[in-house]
């Protein structure tokens, strides 16, 4: 609104400037010989209309001031939001410091109250208690830097992630095409189709299928490429620090959340290159679950810098609140309120023009059920296909390049992304 109002002020000022030429218009001045009184009245009226207290020039200035006031208000809101977020981080940091310096007191007070609730109301089922109180994950992770600082390692959350990421090796990506491109007989028609495709890639029906990402090449009836959709599944391996097992292991999670270019991200770029997306201008959508959503969001900046037109991201159950995404990339994040994984970054997602977050409730009583794609995030996506919410409608309207594919022309190519020397295909 501030920008639009400033534009109106500029247009009004241009109109005022253009109006001044009539004060010295030759035909007006010449008419003074025949009607000097009329010319005087005309000149006076024009001067008042242009430069009087309520004239165009003053009106332009007033509109301009309103535009600047709106911009200043926006900045004030942003600063307030940023300070609130920093205040929340600081509060959790000091809570962690207090726990580390007085563990007995914290255990007796906080831990005791939680344990009592678990055993009295949840029959001792800690997992069920946690999925009913997912915000506790934000609190505990937000407290960890304060606890480390009490031990003599002064850090904040970002530094903690950097330190943890440094304990996991990354490596070089080795990308292998799995067969030749196949006909994509069911190109996506909406958000539910996109999540169903991701679910298939996350848990292939063929247990011997070694692919861990795919690129769907969306084509129109004439065979022209309209867009590319990359399906990126979640974590498959959980090695300890210092170990690496695959391009979809825990180390990639930590590296991506720390803002690093991971082996999986490198593999995605190589796959897109092989699929023909490099320097074509064709839009690219990345769809990711859990770890896949983290990497998808993190990859957008580098992809755009390296000749790929990344325009859309869909994340399902992914902690992406602290990941910076270019302003011209539209992000839709779908989160189950009872899924603890989106809470792992201890941060809400940014509320900005290019980022929309949808939350829904489906509490199965287990962390695995609340985090699953099929029958959980797919159902939520199906509901969004019918949503009349303006933000959702706007996102759906913007993704036509990915949802209008011809089933006879569109293709899919599967890829195996490995760490060199770790889990390469024989």
Question: How many other CB atoms are there within 10 angstroms of residue 390's CB atom?
Answer: 8
pLDDT in tens, 5-41: 888 888 888 888 888 888 888 888 888 888 888 888 8
> In terms of DSSP bridges, do strands 225-232 and 213-219 run parallel, antiparallel, or are they unpaired?
antiparallel
DSSP E strands: which ranges in 275-419? 283-289, 309-316, 330-336, 355-360, 411-419
The pLDDT assigned to 37 comes to: 87
CB–CB of 336/377 below 8 Å? yes
CB–CB of 402/193 below 8 Å? no
The pLDDT assigned to 275 comes to: 96
The more confidently predicted of residues 132 and 139 is 132
Per-residue confidence at 52, pLDDT binned at 50, 70, 90? confident
Query: What are the CA-CA distances from residue 85 to residues 71, 127, 137, 332, 337 (Å)?
Result: 21, 28, 16, 21, 20
In a 10 Å sphere around its CB, with 0-12 CB exposed, 13-18 middle and 19+ buried, how is residue 159 labelled?
Answer: middle
Per-residue confidence at 76, pLDDT binned at 50, 70, 90? confident
CA triplet 305, 332, 225: central angle to 5 degrees? Answer: 55
The stretch 421-426 carries a mean pLDDT of: 87
Q: Which of 143-157, 173-187, 234-248, 337-351 has the lowest mean pLDDT?
A: 143-157
Buried b (16+ CB within 10 A) or exposed e, 80-101: eeeeeeeebbeebbebbbbbbe
Tell me the average pLDDT of the chain: 88
229 SS3 class: strand
The pLDDT assigned to 108 comes to: 53
pLDDT in tens, 363-388: 999 999 999 999 999 999 999 999 99
- pLDDT above 90: percentage of residues in the chain: 49
Q: Which of 73-87, 168-182, 253-267, 355-369 has the lowest mean pLDDT?
A: 73-87
Per-residue confidence at 111, pLDDT binned at 50, 70, 90? low
Contacts of 180 (CB under 8 A, 6+ apart): 413
Nearest to 281 by CA among 256, 261, 310: 310
pLDDT at position 206 over 70: no
The pLDDT assigned to 147 comes to: 74
d(CA 156, CA 62): 45
Beta bridge partners of 237: 249
Nearest to 299 by CA among 335, 259, 351: 259
CA triplet 339, 298, 238: central angle to 5 degrees? Answer: 55
Sheet holding 213-219, edge to edge: 173-183, 411-419, 213-219, 225-232, 283-289, 309-316, 330-336, 355-360
- pLDDT above 70: percentage of residues in the chain: 92
CB–CB of 405/252 below 8 Å? no
The pLDDT assigned to 368 comes to: 92
Backbone angles phi, psi at 180, to 5 degrees: -95, 165
Q: Which CATH architecture has domain 173-419?
A: 3-Layer(aba) Sandwich (3.40)
List helix spans (H) across 230-335. Answer: 250-257, 263-275, 291-305
pLDDT in tens, 311-350: 999 999 999 999 999 999 999 999 999 999 999 988 899 8
pLDDT at position 109 over 70: no
The stretch 164-178 carries a mean pLDDT of: 90
Radius of gyration of the chain, Cα coordinates, nearest whole angstrom: 29
d(CA 8, CA 61): 10
Contacts of 134 (CB under 8 A, 6+ apart): 337, 338, 339, 340, 343
Q: Which of 61-65, 145-149, 332-336 has the lowest mean pLDDT?
A: 145-149
User: Of how many residues is the chain composed?
Assistant: 426
The pLDDT assigned to 88 comes to: 67
Number of H helices, E strands in the chain: 17, 8
pLDDT at position 186 over 70: yes
pLDDT at position 69 over 70: yes
The pLDDT assigned to 78 comes to: 75
The pLDDT assigned to 425 comes to: 86
């Amino acid at each position: 609104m501030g920008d639009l109002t400033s534009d109106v002020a500029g247009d009004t000022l241009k109109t005022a400037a253009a109006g001044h030429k009539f004060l010295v218009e030759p035909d007006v001045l010449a008419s003074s010989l025949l009607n000097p009184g009329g010319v005087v009245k005309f000149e006076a009226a024009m001067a008042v209309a242009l430069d009087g207290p309520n004239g165009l020039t003053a009106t332009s200035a007033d509109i301009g001031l309103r535009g600047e006031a709106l911009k200043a208000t926006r900045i004030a809101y942003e600063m307030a939001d940023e300070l609130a977020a920093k205040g929340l981080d600081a509060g959790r940091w000091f809570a962690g410091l207090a726990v580390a310096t007085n563990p007995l007191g914290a255990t007796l007070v906080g831990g005791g109250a939680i344990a009592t609730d678990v055993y009295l109301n949840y029959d001792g089922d800690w997992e069920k208690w946690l999925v009913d109180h997912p915000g506790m994950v934000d609190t505990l992770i937000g407290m960890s830097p304060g606890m480390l600082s009490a031990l003599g390692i002064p850090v904040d959350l970002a530094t903690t992630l950097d330190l943890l990421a440094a304990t996991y090796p990354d490596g070089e990506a080795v990308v292998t095409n799995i067969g030749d491109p196949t006909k994509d007989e069911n190109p996506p028609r909406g958000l539910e189709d996109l999540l169903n495709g991701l679910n298939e890639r996350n848990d292939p029906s063929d247990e011997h299928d070694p692919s861990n990402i795919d690129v769907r090449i969306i084509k129109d009836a004439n065979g022209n490429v309209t867009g590319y959709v990359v399906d990126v599944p979640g974590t498959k391996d959980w090695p300890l620090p210092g170990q690496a097992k695959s391009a979809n292991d825990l180390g990639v999670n930590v590296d991506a959340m720390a803002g690093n270019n991971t082996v999986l991200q490198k593999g995605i770029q190589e796959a897109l290159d092989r699929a023909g997306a490099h320097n074509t201008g064709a839009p690219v959508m990345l769809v990711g679950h859990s770890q896949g959503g983290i990497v998808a969001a993190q990859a957008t900046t580098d992809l755009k810098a390296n000749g790929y037109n990344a325009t859309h991201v869909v994340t399902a159950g992914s902690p992406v609140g602290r990941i910076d995404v270019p302003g011209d990339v539209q992000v839709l994040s779908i989160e189950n309120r009872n899924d603890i994984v989106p809470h792992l970054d201890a941060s809400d997602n940014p509320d900005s023009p290019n980022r929309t977050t949808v939350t829904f409730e489906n509490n199965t009583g287990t962390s695995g059920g609340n985090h699953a794609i099929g029958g959980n995030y797919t159902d939520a996506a199906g509901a969004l296909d019918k949503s009349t919410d303006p933000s959702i409608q706007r996102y759906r309207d913007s993704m036509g390049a990915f949802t209008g594919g011809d089933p006879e022309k569109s293709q899919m190519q599967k890829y195996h992304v490995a760490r060199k020397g770790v889990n390469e295909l024989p």
